[in-house]
Amino acid sequence: MISSNMPSLVATGLTGLRSGLKQVDRNASAIAQAATSTSPQQTLTQNLVQMQAASQQVQASAAVVRTADQTLGLLINTHA
């Protein structure tokens, strides 16, 4: 039954959100420190690419949470 999977879908989405936001934070710190790196351009580029990937992870995870919420609302309305 789909409704029994909703809490795990929301939890999975929230875990993805947390993970992505932590990665964005780590990359932002690394970018801020890139000026002191021995190869600042490489460090900057690498961290910007990783930050973009983390941003996409956050967006996808938010979509999972949003879809689970909408599906649960639909199931509740259908069975009410």
pLDDT digits (tens, 9 = 90+) for 53-74: 999 999 999 999 999 888 877 6
Tens digits of per-residue pLDDT, 30-41?
998 887 878 888
**Structural domains of the chain, count:** 1
Question: Which structural domain, as residue segments, surrounds residue 32?
Answer: 2-79
Q: Which residue has the higher pLDDT, 67 or 4?
A: 67
Cα-flanking dihedrals φ and ψ of residue 33, to 5°? -95, 0
Q: Residue 59 is inside which H or E element, if any? A: helix 40-79
Q: pTM for this structure?
A: 0.78
